[in-house]
Chain A
């Protein structure tokens, strides 16, 4: 069993990382008071921007095209999220509808652009990132084998962003103000916080992180842009709720999903798992989520003002 765990652990982590960074982005947005149901679409945008950048630059730049591609995914997501920010912050539109619009637009516009630019709806790149084993750290008993073998560079990048985000949200004045805008914007405004600005930051961070998540999919396990991230954005949203809007809660929730889905995927290949019907393994994470949501519904930690437009001067 230990051998199997060591074997599939890197794949579970690789599956988890795009989910984690996207859910973390959602956390910034919702903590600032804006529901972001458009994470799925923002991931697709990042996926596309990364793919097209790498495809165009790789013949000349080789492997250094990959970080540039990720950066473009990051920027692309942030820029596209401005639409959501403008509609839901300036125009006080219904945030769920604006997010849904993002999702519908992203899928159509990226496939249209891909066909215009490359002649095909799919964008194929020669190579993305390769898994590496970290020399010294991988020698540590137990955790060395689990955490430091077969890792992608993006995994460490995302974990670093997670730590920085936690510090930023809970240990800086800026983080406190951002969270205040999601709890009681009028009080925050009375204390001199620019609620609009804070919410813009929250939404743009969520766009950038979701874009990075899409880009990570491209350079790690996919290698070809296909116009959809197959519901991972919604899974990230579920992880955000399951993780109770806290950075490390989100880490736990996304890892739970990543691990459970990986087991379901590889179960048919591994005789030890093959005794359990694949359909049971497949529905397991979703059943657990439903149960958890029912159990935690009374003590939900959702930001108080999430989803509510803010009007200057409201009491």
Chain B
């Protein structure tokens, strides 16, 4: 059933592509930028949407042609098939969001030597997990610790005192780096801006999955019961449970907060009367990095063969431009510190040394 539905969806997409293609591909000199979506839809409020927004921005500003394809499944073969479809339709620049594309890109980069590939949040790997970035591929990572740092700083400045906590999904490097950065951000506020916010070892937790919603709710509830005011939830579905708990408490008058992750989660935290429990979000600027790579390609500076890290210096991370729950002063300080990160005046470590692991 699932397969049949997927095949049907794919056929509709394919038909739409075929019929929609005619007029648009008139100019042969325009760069054609394709994208293949990861699990979920194009408007998933996460990786797919962020990537696509960056590509659309490039279409507006730089005049490239764009198209996305949605694979029928989440296997390597599905991904490869869609990239081949893009290639056959004349697309020579493909962006793929998420580490699930690692093995597919490994195959693709060997097959075509005139196809530029941008892989976000991962690097091409063989089946034996050996990394090899081909000459026309760019692998992009993000400095999650810097993003977490800014969120921790904003949280501490806004709350001024009290306890905060962290709920992670699986204990894997991107999640760990969010955690370590968050703690350093809180420490920075305590020592430089006179706040008194604490993170205790009991309140730093990796639940162990990205899907266990009730566990997220129960952990968040217990933390709030024990006096935690804000929780940084970098945990996928576990975070959904935490957000729901915070919404239900806020609706009955308690002051509790969640710090969002990856994208601006403000809308997900909106409860009954239009207010949101999302204090701010530790973001990865996925769209910016896709945009930057397209721009580089047009300027003939595509950094093929390299592994890049997007951090503060190239606007790869940050907090949302608008944070209705932060005061203007707090936002100003956070953006000042972001500037200091760019110059190197403020440095954030990406290891657990001296922190709660």
Contacts and interface: CB of A to CB of B under 8 A. Distances in A.
A124 B243 CA distance: 11
A274 B214 contact: no
A112 B219 contact: no
A269 B45 contact: no
Nearest to A62: B272
B219 A265 contact: yes
- The interface residues of chain B, by DSSP majority, are classed as helix
Contact of A11 (B2, B222, B247): B222
Interface string B233-260: 0000100110111011001100000000
B226 interface: yes
A108 B271 CA distance: 29
Contacts of B252: 130-131
Contact of A222 (B202, B213, B222, B223): B213
Interface stretch (B36-44, B108-116, B298-306, B341-349): B36-44
B155 interface: no
A271 interface: yes
A221 B205 contact: no
A223 interface: yes
A7 B40 CA distance: 37
Given A108-B5, A121-B40, A127-B271, A222 B218 contact: no
Given A120-B44, A130-B251, A268-B219, A221 B2 contact: no
Given A127-B271, A130-B248, A265-B215, A223 B240 contact: yes
B211 interface: yes
B205 A224 contact: no
Interface string B203-227: 1010110011111011101110110
B212 A230 contact: yes
A198 to B, nearest CB: 30
Interface string A77-120: 00000000000000000000000000011011100100100011
Nearest to B246: A223
Interface string B191-209: 0000000000011010110
Given A223-B244, A265-B214, A8 B222 contact: yes
A11 B225 CA distance: 11
A131 B248 contact: yes
A127 B248 CA distance: 7
A127 B217 contact: no
B219 A126 contact: no
Nearest to B220: A269
B321 interface: no
Contacts of B225: 7
A208 to B, nearest CB: 22
Given A120-B44, A130-B251, A221-B217, 19 more contacts: A8-B222, A62-B272, A119-B43, A120-B41, A121-B40, A127-B251, A128-B244, A130-B248, A217-B214, A221-B218, A222-B214, A222-B240, A223-B240, A226-B213, A261-B214, A265-B207, A265-B219, A269-B202, A269-B226
Interface of A: 7-8, 11, 15, 62-63, 104-105, 107-109, 112, 115, 119-121, 124, 126-131, 217, 221-224, 226, 228, 230, 261-262, 265-266, 268-271, 274, 278
Interface of B: 1-2, 5, 40-41, 43-45, 202-203, 205, 207-208, 211-215, 217-219, 221-223, 225-226, 237, 240-241, 243-245, 247-248, 251-252, 268, 270-272
